[in-house]
Chain A
């Protein structure tokens, strides 16, 4: 036990040392950002044009370097493979003169913005993404305008490309205008989205969808659900629901639209068949339907099979007056007169099987 702890400590310590060493080796290194496909020149510190230097990238010598370049390193039509830590050493002393972290990327293109209100009438959130990757750190600034007013924007604590805005008023005809500006070392670009308050309303799917069979009813299923917990006021802003269901074996859905009710009994289910059920929600007046809830499976109540009594007769039994009775789990017995010998047969068969099982183990 102690050995494991000691080993773990050693591993952690080693990792810390490696990271520290890496950091120290990059200390004083500056970052140089360049556009993919461009020609790049790196300058070794403040050395004059007569200086002679050796360049290394990530510790290995740089290939194909022109001798007369002095303190400069030229790279043509760079791609992502040139990324790395470049060090230059003055000849002939080998003194380290400069370190440059080269990062190749693209300036941002116009961000694509989408907004949605799943918490109407409290507020909405907007998300954005860049149509093409930049490969280098890129920051985003968001501003929201409503008529002549600039609204306060709150960054999402978890999602980097998302922000939240409170609705300053409702039933407004003034459009909202959301502007997102992406900026990095190589440039910037802005994208925007303009919309009406009601066009972005889309609730989250209903929650806790449950379907239960109803005892005594082989063609019914009772479905219940909750309104989405993110919808702040279902009393004043009621939701309507859309239920869809189908047996697993079929492709076509049955649909049912319901107003302001969080339960429904399916009455036309095929007996004994497993069903798949989903529910969606929408504000009764505005906006669009939510995504479908997680699908749930349920089978209507099935009548338990009654005890089956099987009587088989042979020629020897035909004159028997009392029928033989078998327990539900037993195989049908072949008449009473053959009972004792068949019992012996069964016993030896069981012994044989047991021997086989023991041998296998």
Chain B
């Protein structure tokens, strides 16, 4: 049975599928790291983290109305920025905040690698869908923070990373479903005309 996918369409579907799984994993891992970080740094859940600037915020009011391009660009931009911030968080943990905690640094490093892959994946998807990736010229994060502000920022980075990864999971799922729907409606007319031809051949014999 013909699936009706061209090679590029199939490649895109595979990539979408992989990106969805990765986004899902980053959401889960970032959420876990967020809680571990909060406990290690002794932060209260009641804190307002609004004072911490520059970190991309995942909250969006009309998510459903975004175009495919807007979705992918927002994700690509956010993951690139978060990758940058997470790198700084790791550096600050190593040098200042938890210098003895090698295991914690390893876990952060592993998460950092995943975020880098996710950022690349999203950029790749943009290109596959025929869009231009956002320019990565963001101002570098502030380095000279107080000890306490560094603590807060680290938590906020993990918080936003977790929700951005969730948002990306939803975005990619939506794109996957759209792609399935488009391909099945494309295939149907072809099948219909083929069966019509068959029926016509049959009916020909009855002199209709």
User: A residues touching B (Cβ–Cβ < 8 Å)?
Assistant: 121, 147, 168-174, 194, 198, 233, 235-238, 285-286
Contact = CB atoms under 8 A, between A and B. Distances in A.
Contacts of B173: 236, 238
B129 interface: no
Nearest to B27: A285
Nearest to B181: A235
Interface of B: 24, 27, 46, 49-50, 57-61, 63-64, 159-160, 163-164, 166-167, 169-170, 173-174, 177
A18 to B, nearest CB: 57
Contacts of A238: 173
Given A147-B50, A237-B170, A173 B160 contact: yes
Contacts of B159: 173
A173 B59 contact: yes
Question: Across chains A and B, which 8 residue pairs bring their CB atoms closest together, nearest first?
Answer: A172-B59, A169-B61, A171-B58, A171-B167, A169-B59, A171-B163, A173-B159, A236-B174
Listed residue (A169, A170, A194, A237) with the most chain B CB atoms within 10 angstroms of its CB:
A170
Contacts of A235: 177
Nearest to A168: B61
Per DSSP, are chain A's interface residues mostly helix, strand or loop, or mixed? loop
A288 to B, nearest CB: 15
Contacts of B57: 173
7 contacts: A169-B60, A169-B61, A171-B63, A173-B58, A173-B159, A235-B177, A238-B173
B29 to A, nearest CB: 14
A143 B63 CA distance: 25
Contacts of A286: 166
B64 A236 contact: yes
Contacts of A147: 50
A231 B115 CA distance: 32
Contacts of A233: 64
A170 B171 CA distance: 12
Contacts of A198: 166
Given A147-B50, A238-B173, A285-B24, A174 B59 contact: yes
Given A285-B169, A285-B170, A286-B166, A236 B177 contact: yes
B50 A171 contact: no
Contacts of B64: 121, 233, 236
B24 A121 contact: no
Given A236-B170, A238-B173, A285-B170, A170 B27 contact: no
